[in-house]
Chain A
Amino acid sequence: MAIRSAEKHSTLLALTSSALLLPAYQAARADAPPEFVELGVRYSKYEEDNTQGSKTFGGSSQRYDVDVAQFHLLAPVADNWAVAVDMQWEDMSGASPWFVGESLDGGSKVVMSGASIEDTRTEVSVTTRYYYERGNAGLNYVRSDEDDYDSNAVALDGSFNSADGMTTYSAAISYSDDNIEPTQGSVPTNTLKADKDISSVFLGVSRIVSKNAIVRFGLSYTYRDGFLTDPYKFYDKRPGERNEWAVNTGYRQYFPWPNGALQADYRYFDDDWGVASHTLNLAWHQNLGHSIQVIPFLRYYSQGEAQFFANIADLDKRYFADDYRLSSFGAVSAGLRVRYEMGNWAITAVGERYETDKNWGVYSGEESPALVDYWRYSFGLDYIFK
């Protein structure tokens, strides 16, 4: 009986696979190039909480504020070609932790750089994408300019769908050439001029597991080489190389009732500086009618400190850093994204709160007094010419 049953299912398989050879079904499965020009603008504000007075020398200190304006253009240029242009302007102001010093009570407190940082960053990204029968491939160039930093990056990516259209394989490689020329003035810097290179490779696979569910899995490796020390931090000396690995997994399921989708992603990161981290992302995409989508999201992050991290840097060591970004901590962020479509217009609004705490993490280590909490708001408007 079991054998006969398998035979009949092989009948269905034979019928389905021969039907899918018809060009009509291949077109339906192909990654469709955009048919219309799309334009978008977005404004975001990133606002760090002031560092608490009890954690700094010299009372409460204002930290970073970043204003970001973005412009996005996606245009079909031929049947199978599309070009996307993205531009971004950032205006950063405020103070950043300069170094951590020992307080009289034996604890550690941050010395802020003073409201001395004022910088603007301009980024232009151009992507050209080619759509073929069973996937697409893109070539991307990004140029970023700041007063003290510039970067040129190229990336190549491609995806390929299996014959049954259920599995997608993807791969990407990228290379970035970055130059650092710290602004001289308020604080002494660790270099006058330096550079670094970043190379990375990604391999991924995603599979449709049922009519409403998709899983994905990816591996990435990144190699950084050059001046990896923070030029502005007083006690900072880092290795000239960094090897990073990451594993990504994700699951997405659509529920006909209540017409929403659950998205769950997990990432594990590890590198040869001793930093490791877990990231868990949960989001619920709720459709309300045909024009409104409400997406609450929650992210948990836990990081272990670098081998050479210490609040009170030991300058006799080969490498040292008191940068909170290399310390052990946990972070939770929660937010809400709302999207409203009417005709050719779409409005998107996002609000997010991010908080860190040493005790929320799963890794041991010293607590940095410079951990940051922030608010992020974003408002976008998109138009499609059809």
Chain B
Amino acid sequence: MAVSHYDHRFRAMGGLCRLRFDCDGGAVARAVVVAVEAEVQRLEKKYSRYLPDSLTSQINAAAGSAPVAIDEETAGLLGFAQTLWQESGGLFDLTAGVLRRAWDFKSGQLPAQSNIDELLPRVGWHRVVWDRESIRLPLPGMEIDFGGCVKEYASDCAAAVLARNGIERGLVDLAGDMAVVGAGSVAEPWSVGISHPRRQGAAIAHISLTEGGLASSGDYERCVMIEGKRYGHILNPLTGWPVQGLVAVSLTARQCLVAGGSATIAMLKPEVEALAWLTELGLAWFAVDSTLTCHGELTTD
């Protein structure tokens, strides 16, 4: 029986998602699509900070009071986030989201330093009390946000669903975070585009993906010029001020999660430091700096 190519689009995790795979039966293909969407939705419901019933919202609501029980998967994600925090010297920080309250980029005004100083005590992964069973945010107003890694993790989980269903060639694309499965993908690679950081819907590069994951991180909105200085949207959790960093980074790794965490760290570092860090990381990468110059060795086709 001939193998058909399936291409399914759906909305999840605040973006447009796409599932492509080869399969020789329509009924199996439908079951696979349902299983993949269910897995992505499970993770969105569990970790989205916008959904009031999510575990993330429960943890944030309990800030300053009692610990919240967590499962093995959440403990694993927290452990990964802690490693990112350690390896980035504190730049990757799940608690950094509250700093956004001080910054209103649309106003064209810089926030008062006093506003930032007020928020900084509620930022800092080192303040969080957690173990494999529970987590407690010690101060009222503290928040965590899995936004920096959950979409990448969901891509890997969705790819695992494809593999468990016997799909031998498949690609999961959760709004730019991708994971590939199957020996068929090695034989017949996926050509994927990397979003242009400044032109919506356009690709700045195409690469061939045979296995593992591809993750991208970018400051996709125009930076604001205030008093002649460029301010991006990525905030340094140690200072509360925007990073003078790269505008887009893409990496490939065996796991989309590892690629995504590394991309986020690269975005949090000053431009020159970020390029040096990427060069020595040991993964294939591609980056665009503030002058829209491309760097890196991610194979393009």
The answer for the CA separation of A290 and B22 in the assembled complex, in Å, is 10
**Chain A min CB distance to B178 (Å):** 16
Which residues of A sit under 8 angstroms from B86, Cβ to Cβ? 14
Asked whether A24 is an interface residue with its Cβ less than 8 Å from the other chain, the reply is: yes
Question: How far apart are the CA atoms of A19 and B168 in the complex, in Å?
Answer: 24
Q: Could you tell me the distance between the alpha carbons of A385 and B282 in the complex, rounded to whole angstroms?
A: 44
B141 near A: Cβ within 8 Å? no
A16 located at the interface, meaning its Cβ lies under 8 Å from any Cβ of chain B in the complex: yes
Q: Which of A14, A23, A343 contacts B87 (CB 8 A)?
A: A14
For residue B288, CB closer than 8 A to chain A, the reply is: no
> In the complex, what residues of A have CB within 8 A of residue B258's CB?
12, 15-16, 19
Confirm or deny: B301 has a beta carbon within 8 angstroms of a beta carbon on chain A.
no
Chain A residue at smallest Cβ distance from B168? A290
Q: Is the CB of B184 within 8 A of A4?
A: no
Interface status of B65 (Cβ within 8 A of chain A): no
Asked whether B281 lies within 8 Å of A8 as measured between CB atoms, the reply is yes
In A237-255, the 8 Å CB interface with B consists of 254
Provide the residues of chain B in CB contact with A259, threshold 8 Å.
Answer: 187
B186 at the interface (CB under 8 A from A): yes
Beta-carbon contact of A23 and B163 below 8 Å: no
Q: Are the C-beta atoms of B281 and A11 separated by less than 8 Å?
A: yes
* Assembly CA distance A291 to B22 (angstroms): 13
| Complexed CA–CA distance, A9 and B24 (Å) | 41
Q: Does B246 contact A (CB under 8 A)?
A: no
CB-defined contacts of B83 to chain A, threshold 8 Å: 14-15, 18
Contact B1 A342 (CB under 8 A): yes
Contact partner, A12, options B79, B82, B282, Cβ 8 Å? B282
* Contact status A290-B184, CB under 8 Å: yes
Asked if B261 and A15 sit within 8 Å, CB to CB, the answer is yes
In contact, A16 and B187 (Cβ under 8 angstroms): no
Binds A, one of B108-116, B153-161, B227-235: B153-161
B146 at the interface (CB under 8 A from A): no
For A14, the chain B residues whose CB sits under 8 A away are 83, 86-87
Q: Which residue of A lies closest to B71 (CB)?
A: A23
**B252–chain A nearest beta-carbon distance, Å:** 12
A268 vs B102: C-alpha distance when bound (angstroms): 72
User: What's the Cα separation between A12 and B255 when bound, in Å?
Assistant: 11
Q: Is B222 an interface residue (CB 8 A)?
A: no
Judge if A22 is at the interface, Cβ distance under 8 Å: yes
Tell me the smallest distance from the CB of B186 to a CB of chain A, in Å.
5
CB under 8 Å from chain A, chain B span 224-254: 253-254
- Say whether A212 contacts B186, CB under 8 Å: yes
Max chain A CB contacts within 10 Å: which of B3, B83, B86, B163? B83
Task: Enumerate B154-192 residues with CB–CB distance to A below 8 Å.
Answer: 156-157, 160, 163-164, 168, 183-184, 186-187
How far, in whole Å, are A15 and B25 apart by their CA atoms in the complex? 38
Partner of B183, one of A8, A32, A254: A254
The reply on B220 being an interface residue by CB < 8 A is no
Shortest distance from the beta carbon of B203 to any chain A beta carbon, whole Å: 24
Measured CA separation A263–B22 after assembly (Å)? 27
| Closest A residue by C-beta to B210 | A256
**A8 x B280 contact (CB < 8 A):** yes
Contact of A28 with B by CB under 8 A:
yes
- Contacting residues, chain A, for B168 (C-beta < 8 A): 290
Q: List 14 A-B contacts (CB under 8 A).
A: A9-B280, A11-B281, A15-B83, A15-B261, A18-B83, A21-B79, A22-B76, A22-B77, A22-B80, A24-B153, A24-B156, A25-B255, A212-B186, A343-B1
Contacts from B to A (Cβ < 8 Å): 1, 3, 22, 24-25, 28, 72-73, 76-77, 79-80, 82-84, 86-87, 153, 156-157, 160, 163-164, 168, 183-184, 186-187, 210-211, 253-255, 257-258, 261-262, 277, 280-283
Chain A residues engaging chain B, CB cutoff 8 angstroms:
4-5, 7-9, 11-12, 14-16, 18-25, 27-28, 32, 211-212, 254, 256, 259, 287, 289-291, 342-343, 386
Chain A to chain B: the 10 pairs with minimum beta-carbon distance, closest first: A8-B280, A22-B76, A18-B83, A259-B187, A12-B282, A9-B282, A28-B160, A11-B87, A18-B80, A24-B157
Contacts beyond the supplied A9-B280, A9-B282, A290-B3: 6 A-B pairs with Cβ under 8 Å: A4-B280, A21-B80, A23-B73, A25-B160, A254-B183, A291-B1
